[in-house]
Chain A
């Protein structure tokens, strides 16, 4: 198998509250022959704080990272949707020669889908999922370049490739409000509860996400009998039969082990 190396921007959350997303991303891409090389000296993209307060900082904080990436290659992969969006805006505004990709873009390329099918050890066929993309992976299309922004398909394709039962769902890109989680939990609770409720109504046994902020926001506001919220990379690791995943599940507020065991995934 050919190994391709690509620059990796984990972002602050993957070094803090979402270390299981970082670990599962590295494990899965490693197993697929994609060597994620963490960008040395990366700093925060500024997230929603910068563009809400300061037009100059908005682009400058993200552009600094693109400049670091330019010395390393043509692509920069970000697993956090908020980072991805800020970097993507900076790519456009600064006319950078680096193309910013979300981790899901790498997973859903036809080449990686092929590798996933070849390396499949444990099909997720017993697992009913809904794919939650959130806002900034897809919107606005002028920034993300996506044509299917109202009904995105890339995560659906990746989950289908490893055998999961992907339920049709009309809430894929509705906002969960994560950016306001600290300051206005009253508003956020209403948004995230509705998403969980609608996922249940769609018949899902779990929600699959591609963002540390979405995952944390949906996972932390339920009771212990809630609906598990997983990273797509965690499920891919199961499908590829990767070892050393136990500590990931312990970091979830809603324990995903019963659902995964029942579906024959663990």
Chain B
């Protein structure tokens, strides 16, 4: 079964049961008690709160959820998953939505967090470990802007909290193969 979202963003057609079908996430067990959204630290900043995202997925309207830029505000704090009385892995559902959105090229209205995650994985692949200065440079290039708190970054460099030395590489050959295997899956 496929769901085609009505309206201007209907270009991508997605199998509706992709997130619904992931073992252990169980969005169909949601009875909309809203406990997840009540404990969510960023629910007020999301246009669709966690319980609404879960309900959309359970109803087979995953694409609506994929386009919600609020999924990128999830801090993965696991409060929702921990408190759900029915054992729905709410944070896992939101992770699955982020993964699907990123893989299918859905561009969030605010792309900063997606740019950060991509920059982070670029840095892991390039050096094996993450170096703060290299990460900030990669983020700035991907996001097309400097981090919002750039003055704080400068103070951290002054304090020596962000080292300026050239990053060393660790096990990068092995990691390249690991990234390629993951891509092929």
A56 beta carbon closer than 8 Å to chain B: yes
CB atoms of B78 and A180 under 8 A apart: no
The chain A residue with its CB closest to the CB of B123 is: A44
The residue that A139 contacts in the complex, of B79, B115, B116, with Cβ under 8 A, is B79
Q: Does A251 contact B (CB under 8 A)?
A: yes
- Contact in complex: A17, B132 (CB < 8 Å): yes
B98 CB contact (under 8 Å) in A16, A53, A64: A53
Q: Is A96 located at the chain interface by the 8 A CB criterion?
A: no
Size bracket of the B interface: 35 or more
> Does A47 sit at the interface, judged by CB under 8 A?
yes
How far apart sit A12 and B155, CA to CA, in the bound complex (Å)?
20
Residues of A within 8 A of B147 (CB): 182-183, 185
Interface contact B78-A44, CB-CB below 8 Å: no
Contact of B143 among A61, A135, A183, A191 (CB under 8 A): A183
Q: How far is the CA of A18 from the CA of B132 in the complex (A)?
A: 11
Min C-beta distance of A185 to chain B, whole Å: 4
Residues of B close to A46: CB separation below 8 A: 121, 124
- Residue B33 CB within 8 A of the other chain: no
Q: For chain B residues 74-132, which have a beta carbon within 8 Å of chain A?
A: 75-79, 81-82, 91, 95-96, 98-99, 102, 112-113, 115-118, 120-121, 124, 128-132
**Distance from A102 Cβ to chain B, minimum over Cβ atoms (Å):** 15
A169: B residues at CB distance < 8 A: none
> Which residues of A lie under 8 Å from residue B41 when comparing CB positions?
174-175, 177, 191
For A49, list chain B residues within 8 Å (CB).
116-118, 120-121, 124
By a beta-carbon cutoff of 8 Å, the part of chain B in contact with chain A is 41-42, 45, 73, 75-79, 81-82, 91, 95-96, 98-99, 102, 112-113, 115-118, 120-121, 124, 128-132, 135-136, 139, 143, 147-149, 152, 155-156, 159-163, 170-171, 174-175, 178-179, 181-182, 185
A-B contact pairs, 30 of them (CB 8 A): A18-B161, A41-B171, A43-B171, A43-B175, A46-B124, A50-B124, A52-B102, A52-B117, A54-B182, A55-B96, A56-B181, A56-B182, A57-B179, A57-B182, A60-B178, A60-B181, A64-B171, A135-B76, A136-B77, A136-B78, A139-B81, A174-B41, A177-B41, A180-B73, A180-B116, A182-B135, A184-B113, A185-B147, A220-B155, A253-B156
